[in-house]
Chains A and B, each alone.
Chain A
């Protein structure tokens, strides 16, 4: 690939935990004191800190949203939620209708949210933009998933039906296969469609993003994650059996006796009870870690693939090299940090994650010279876009 000869510009995150802690805790304090009103300012300061400390090719990013826009959006959102909450007093049907209306305008809100977020982001004096159409959003978020589901349902029924003509066993096996593989493919297909829509509609100034997302490649990633999960479960079960075998020297009656003594309130056999609890805890934790790893693996692979397929006007190439194991390590330790500090060490976790993600992200190409051709596209920020943001309508493509 040509891009290998291109220079690589790695992202850098310059934020510091102690500095951010001050910002974060003052945000929390003022939000509490102002009964949440300050949270709009808090959001802007947070974002500004993270954007402003993210460096690419010697330049920082900027976050340009105005707190008042966000506050207004939040007020509108709260009013709407209150209306929805009191609507059953008028009639139950009204509430259902409102709910349906919300679902119906969901894609519009998603587009507005993506647009708002990109338009308030600036790099080298040029704003980003999202130019996806509403029609495209309805296609990607509603029509295609619906069609895919109908087709999947029909194919599955047909195959299982044909199988049942041959024999119930064949039908059963077919059913499992269709739902495991077909279901995975269905999911990969939807994810492909959605990320295609989102990634291909970003712009940096007048320069367009292009992402060549293949459903086959996405399917492979999902299958691999499933295989890792399945393999892990089998390996852990074998290991568990082995440990049990070694511990009880092939005498499983001991294990039975242990259970029996516990059932009879065998307080006298404390050691046995302790060992048993230890074994169960170990099994529990290892399955936990496995699940955690599969999640990290899937997230990392998807990000790496999607970034790898994305370029800007064929001149700048996105690179993501998140290592699943390291990613899991950061997620895991962050979660422990947050839980054991009752949330007070959140800044530590956020800065760590930002550093990790920056390190794993790069852009190939000569940004400096390509930037010369980049002009600001016409981007006016509408307040309406913020309404979507206030609802937190986001789709997790990346």
Chain B
């Protein structure tokens, strides 16, 4: 077989018309106007096989042949055992499917298992002084965030605090000493934990409940966030997600930033829903362990959810989520 093409002489970008004789015995002979050179395929410097790219052939005298019709030379080389198993893999439908499935699985596993694990692990490595600093700063900024001083009577505060302290004393495995704070935030009934283990309860939540005992379930839920170091973990997680997305997208320009933060928010919310469920289970577990009245725990949750329902416009409400949480909690309590 004769393949036409051009040859580049050693150390030069000058090209000449050339012919390549391919023999069935595995010899190649390159000839142009200046002469000819002959060598067995195994001794030649042949460019890697990739896609449908032309494979250049280098001879010992430094000349390099490029075919006019690469496919003919490529298939001749393949027949001579100069093909590439990689190229075969890259064209194999099964392999591509396998690659697709495995990479999807790895992405899923990394997102669902790896990321939470890594963020909790790293959160555990963050020095306690940083969590304290974060918590304190958040508290300092409370007024600018729309929080104001509590109007709950000192007596009621004291009763709740006593409850709280006894819960804290009995639960083991808390990484830090949680503190309870009361704040007013309009009509918002809410409770949440901060990075340093501070737990904030709003006035409206206390008002909503028939008696302080109903607050225990919610306090236990927040203590679970403290026990699991969820606040720090979620910070680490958002940082990790943004970094990963930027690495994958390979661009940190403006729009990416925006979409990334939206994606990060979405994914983070997914994880925080997971954390909420864990915290509910924790609350259920410890309320059983500590022999707290279960109906009060459920009542507290119910009051909070009912209040939320009326306050948040339905189009952004987490309504089905609440029902689901309550159902699971009931199952746990009754089991």
Contacts and interface: CB of A to CB of B under 8 A. Distances in A.
A344 interface: yes
Nearest to B102: A29
Contact of A332 (B47, B52, B255, B314): B255
Interface string B25-48: 000000000000000000000011
Contacts of A49: 50-51, 53
Main secondary structure of the interface of B (DSSP, over half): helix
A274 interface: yes
B281 to A, nearest CB: 30
B21 interface: no
Contacts, number: 139
Interface in B88-122: 89-92, 95-96, 98-100, 102-104, 106-107
Contacts of B249: 335, 338-339, 343
A274 B315 contact: yes
Contacts of B95: 22, 26, 29
Interface stretch (B209-217, B305-313, B324-332): B305-313
Contact of A25 (B96, B310, B314): B96
A252 B10 CA distance: 78
Listed residue (B13, B66, B253, B313) with the most chain A CB atoms within 10 angstroms of its CB = B13
A376 B54 CA distance: 23
A21 B92 CA distance: 11
Interface stretch (B170-178, B256-264, B282-290): B256-264
A237 interface: no
A20 interface: yes
Given A292-B254, A344-B103, A53 B53 contact: yes
Interface in A16-60: 16, 19-23, 25-26, 28-29, 32-33, 45, 48-49, 52-53, 59-60
A26 B51 CA distance: 13
Contacts of A344: 100, 103-104
Given A265-B312, A342-B107, A375-B11, A23 B51 contact: yes
Contact of B86 (A16, A25, A45): A45
Nearest to A370: B13
A374 B12 contact: yes
Contact of A339 (B100, B259, B313): B259
Interface string A329-345: 00110010011001110
B91 A22 contact: yes
A163 interface: no
Contacts of B48: 45, 48
B17 to A, nearest CB: 13
B11 A338 contact: no
Nearest to B311: A265
B251 interface: yes
A286 to B, nearest CB: 12
B103 A335 contact: no
A126 interface: yes
B14 interface: yes
B192 interface: no
Nearest to B259: A339
A353 to B, nearest CB: 10
Counting from the closest, the 6 A-B pairs by CB-CB distance are A125-B8, A291-B254, A124-B13, A25-B99, A29-B99, A371-B13
29 contacts: A15-B51, A19-B51, A21-B96, A22-B90, A23-B50, A25-B103, A29-B98, A32-B106, A33-B102, A48-B50, A124-B8, A126-B13, A267-B314, A270-B313, A273-B313, A273-B315, A288-B255, A291-B253, A292-B253, A335-B256, A335-B259, A339-B259, A346-B248, A371-B13, A371-B14, A371-B15, A372-B12, A372-B13, A376-B11
